[in-house]
Amino acid sequence: MQITTVSDFRKDIKTYLDRVVKNYETLIINRGKDSGIVVMSLQEYNSLMATNHELSSRKNELRLDSAIDKLKNGLTFNKDLIEN
């Protein structure tokens, strides 16, 4: 995560945005007392929204937790795909 000011961001906007996209970094632009802006790549944003959606219902959250536990405990299996 990077932190900068509005003035520094304005001076070198291309470099900051390139770093955000290339390195999947989050950039915080400090705007003063308890105020700021967060800049992240579209790929990171989409990933965050997908995770938020997956965890939006308690039932889905429990199902995902169960799957993770099974994976950690080696309780998985393989299946061959049926090709037509």
pLDDT tens for each residue of 29-73: 998 888 899 999 999 999 999 989 888 889 988 998 999 999 999
Question: Domain limits of the chain?
Answer: 1-40, 41-74
When the pLDDT of each residue in the chain is averaged and rounded to a whole number, the result is 91
Tell me, yes or no, if the pTM score tops 0.85: no
Architecture per CATH, domain 1-40, reads as 3-Layer(aba) Sandwich (3.40)
The string of DSSP codes covering 5-45 is EHHHHHHTHHHHHHHHHHHT--EEEE-STT-EEEE--HHHH
pLDDT at 15: 95
**Predicted confidence (pLDDT) per residue in 5-39, tens digit:** 999 999 999 999 999 999 988 999 998 888 899 99
